[in-house]
Amino acid sequence: MFEKELAMLEHSKGFETEDMFDEFEHALELILAYKDPECIPLILQYLSDDGDYPEMMYQIIHSVESFPLEDDLRGVFKVLSQIYEKAPDFTKTLIYRVLNEKNAQKKFREMIELDEKKAQVIKPILISIAKDSENHKSICGEILLQIDKK
């Protein structure tokens, strides 16, 4: 459905010129215009901790968050382990944002309660967040206990 737009993302992902930034942004806008949650895991593949373009990574995160909450979380879980491997910092940013918002946190907890695979994928990320952030230590601990009780 959005092959042309994904090719544009792929072409411009190096952000070597201003035109490449513009092309990447434009491709994201075109993809989002489809309003198809199947694009979420595809665009998340472009998250990267390497490089000097965090504003583009936040644009990806904001794009994902523009979808309904359940679609957003479902798309994140589809590629969580892959994106955590190559972009652990931005992956944790995604999860921080979920943990900081009550409705998102509730839905997140429901999803990991219902799916053991999701629970095991998120576990090392929550452990890392708990170590990194005093503000999130308690909630991560609660969710980790929830996972371990399964």
pLDDT of residue 150: 67
Q: How far is it, in rounded angstroms, from Cα 144 to Cα 9?
A: 36
- Dist CA 101 CA 69 (whole Å): 11
pLDDT in tens, the chain (150 residues): 889 999 999 999 999 899 999 999 999 999 999 999 999 999 999 999 998 899 999 999 999 999 999 999 999 999 999 999 999 999 999 999 999 999 999 999 999 999 999 999 999 999 999 999 999 999 999 999 999 986
Please indicate, yes or no, whether the overall pTM of this predicted structure exceeds 0.75: yes
DSSP secondary structure letter of residue 49: S
- d(C-alpha 30, C-alpha 28), whole Å: 5
